[in-house]
Amino acid sequence: ILIHLFNSDITLGKNGVPVAENFRVEQSTMADTVQAGQVRVKTLYLSVDPYMRCRMNEDTGSDYLQPWQLSEVADGGGIGVVEESKHHNLAKGDFVTSFTWPWQTEAILDGDLLQKLVPQLVNGRLSYFLGAAGITGLTALLGIREKGHVAAGANQTMVVSGAAGACGSLAGQIGRLEGCSRVVGIAGTDEKCSILVQEMGFDAAINYKKGDVAKQLRELCPGGVDVYFDNVGGDISDTVISQMNQNSHIILCGQISQYNKDVPYPPPLPPDIEKIQKERNITRERFLVLNYMDKQEASVLQLCQWIQEGKLKVR
């Protein structure tokens, strides 16, 4: 069973919301034989992520992201189990992952492009390798370390937008582990806000769909904002930036509120917000986790250690 990108209504026009009709599910016959260096795998998990909206445009806005092609099998982060192997380093029963895993129930893949997984590192929760111990966790950890300038004992306040999402919920916890003294999340329901505070150790959370976000931010961050982990862009980010301190830092992780619009990445700030950013010397640099793959192994081990110790809660 394969999932294809099918309908071009929005792939050839950058404005629009993805719908089920943009995709097609098919059954197909696989090759009978596995060639030297290949493995046959059964798919266990696929990760469906916001960045994939950008892959539905001819121009993804990023050098490292290729657009999905019409009538070709979609792909992304995935995990599977080896069912047959002709690769020297992979055996039947091994769990493997790839950032370009095809959206199909079974596949024959090049073994050199797969990474072998050790389930014990995540207490047997294999799917964590697509989340907290995968690209998502790496984005949160390396974003904070490379662009957040968090220093233990510096009494810094971090705000996270999209805080209940896969990356945001980790970023807030990691901000605390790295030394932030106060962490405030912004999410879209009371239930999410409650989980952030009660389960994930955020000091406070704001439901942006209720009340005055700017007013709540001022009350919850009386000393201003030192680090902003930005997943959403748009009005929410403009509100946060207006309350950031001199020489503070924006970790530009994502701009999900803008992905269905025809704007460049990262989207330009409104003139009044850009003026604040420049006057206060607030850094806002594009952040791509794949630029830091030399730090991947050590960072994944750190994430796994925090998971095993119960310091990083995963939903």
The continuous run of DSSP H or E covering 219 comes out as helix 213-220
CATH number reported for the structural domain that contains residue 109 in this entry: 3.90.180.10
pLDDT beyond 80 at 112 = yes
Q: Is residue 179 part of a domain?
A: yes
* Residues 140 and 113 grouped into a single domain: no
How does pLDDT run across 184-241, given as a tens digit for each residue? Answer: 999 999 999 999 999 999 999 999 999 899 999 999 999 999 999 999 889 999 999 9
Write the CA distances from 8 to 14, 115, 260, 263, integer angstroms: 11, 33, 15, 19
pLDDT beyond 70 at 253 = yes
CATH number reported for the structural domain that contains residue 270 in this entry: 3.40.50.720
Cβ–Cβ < 8 Å for 62, 112: no
Q: Is the torsion defined by CA of 267, 270, 274, 276 positive or negative?
A: negative
* Residues 41 and 86 grouped into a single domain: yes
Write the CA distances from 10 to 55, 72, 229, integer angstroms: 11, 16, 29
* Residues 296 and 157 grouped into a single domain: yes
Q: How many domains does the chain have?
A: 2
Domain housing 212: 136-309
Mean pLDDT for the stretch of residues 302-312: 96
Q: Is residue 20 part of a domain?
A: yes
Measured distance CA(208)–CA(116) in Å, rounded = 41
Q: Is residue 31 part of a domain?
A: yes
How does pLDDT run across 49-104, given as a tens digit for each residue? Answer: 888 888 888 887 777 788 899 889 999 999 999 999 999 999 999 999 999 999 99
Q: Is residue 314 part of a domain?
A: no
* Residues 56 and 191 grouped into a single domain: no
User: Of 85, 117, 149, which residue sits at a domain end?
Assistant: 117
Lowest mean pLDDT among 36-40, 220-224, 289-293: 289-293
